[in-house]
Structure 1
Amino acid sequence: MSAKRAPTERADAVPALAEAFREHGFEGASLSVLSQATGLGKGSLYNFFPGGKEEMMEAVLADIDAWFENVIFSTLEHANNPTAAVTSMIEDVTVYFRSGRRVCLVGCIGLNASGAAFAVRIRSYFARWISALAQCLETGGVSKLHASKLAEEVVSGIQGAIVLARALEDDAVFLRVVHRQHSILLEAISNHRA
């Protein structure tokens, strides 16, 4: 069995940092934990991230933002077929959160004391998701007010499903809740097109 290769570029370290922050939280992810997760010595970590843990977390959040921008937000905002866009969002989010097993790092950071340091980015992430979903629903004929309320409920439902599935140690909870959210969205589009 070969040894884990240390990243040779900053971007290569980001996925391992994300998983360490997911598992230990921002406060609990010591430099030793982050070093072990990435396979980089503390000196190399500081070489890639001179701003320390805060810069590491910023890089992780930027990576999450980029994924959501490219895969979720842009698809919803530019949807020609809202039904397909909503279905794609549900499928992609299900895979991203690994059917409820993977903590939403943005939500987790937002809930603890370190969240204040990243408040603008966290607020932007959730606001953008709600806005993009509402825009997609409006494209599907749902009224602006109803689309906004529904988007807020669905995003909070998905986030809540992640927490509940982990707390109950039952991935099926996540899948059931997300399936219900999907059905609610499709029904709203269908009712407004009828």
Structure 2
Amino acid sequence: MRPQKVLDIEILKGLTKVFRSKGYEGASLKELSEATGLKKASLYHRFPNGKQEMADAVLNHLDEWVSNNVFQSLLDDDIEPQIRLKKGLEKIRTLYNDGKETCIFRALSMQTGVELFEEQIKNGMNEWLSTFREIGTAFQLNHKEAEQKALQVLIEIQGSLIVTKGLGDISIFENALKNIEQNYINQ
């Protein structure tokens, strides 16, 4: 068997970049092929079910990254909540390249994508809510307060990414992360 010329992680990075910037409908096979460094035939060999399987792979890859980095940092009971929160927010900065990257949930929830990936997006958002609810309880919030704060975090992150992109000002995303930190620490 010949060794693969393009590593799987590089393929996923290329696919992620295209789906984040173009969405599901807007991502052409030509762009996906170019971004991965694979010819269309090789891309279909790796993803026989086409573009939907590629987007599924991207969602799974990012879900794993978020779980292993963001959520693991936020849920580490061996570290005090303030440090966990700082680490988690730093991983969120990395995930969104300091606010320069679009959230994959947003990118795949447009047009046809919302029907295809609705369950994955809903599950992913529920994981974010659950994790921030847990950090809220670590900050001694009651269940209702932790729930409300978790929802506000999700809204702030998603909203700031959209406004950052729309205005071309990454300080909006950075300020949102600072506000999230302050809202937990100064509650």
| Fold match (TM-score > 0.5) | yes
TM-score normalised by L of structure 2:
0.92
Match of 2:24 in 1: 26
Inter-partner Cα distance in structure 1 for 2:72 and 2:47 = 29
1:48 partner amino acid: R
Scaled by the length of structure 1, the TM-score of the pair is 0.88
Q: Which amino acid aligns with 1:109?
A: L
Partner of 2:33: 35
Aligned to 1:48: 46
Percent same amino acid among aligned pairs? 27
How far apart are 1:34 and its partner, in Å?
0.7
Name the residue aligned to 2:75: 77
The alpha carbon displacement at 1:8 in A equals: 3.0
Q: Residues 102 and 162 of structure 2 are in contact (CA less than 8 Å); yes or no, is this contact kept in structure 1?
A: yes
8 Å Cα contact 1:21-1:29 kept in structure 2: yes
Aligned to 1:136: 135
- The whole-number CA distance in structure 1 between the counterparts of 2:149 and 2:33 is 42
Corresponding position: 1:171 with 2:179: no
Aligned partners of 1:35 and 1:41 also within 8 Å = yes
CA–CA separation in structure 2 for the residues paired with 1:35 and 1:108: 19
Equivalent runs, 1:13-162 vs 2, <5 Å: 13-80=11-78, 81-162=80-161
Distance 1:152 1:79 in 2: 22
The 8 Å contact of residues 70 and 89 in structure 2, kept in 1 or not, is answered as no
Q: Which runs of 5+ in 2 are unaligned?
A: none
Q: CA deviation at 1:78?
A: 3.5
Closer, same or farther: CA 7–24 of 1 in aligned 2, 3 Å: farther
Pick closer, same or farther for the CA change 1:38–1:109 going to 2, 3 Å: same
- Code of the residue aligned with 1:170 in structure 2: it is D
- Is the contact between residue 18 and residue 35 of structure 2 (CA under 8 Å) also seen in structure 1? yes
Contact in 2 for aligned 1:7/1:38 (Cα 8 Å): no
Unaligned stretches of 5+ residues in structure 1: 1-5, 189-194
Aligned length: 183
Provide the C-alpha distance between the structure 2 equivalents of 1:47 and 1:90, rounded to a whole number of angstroms.
37
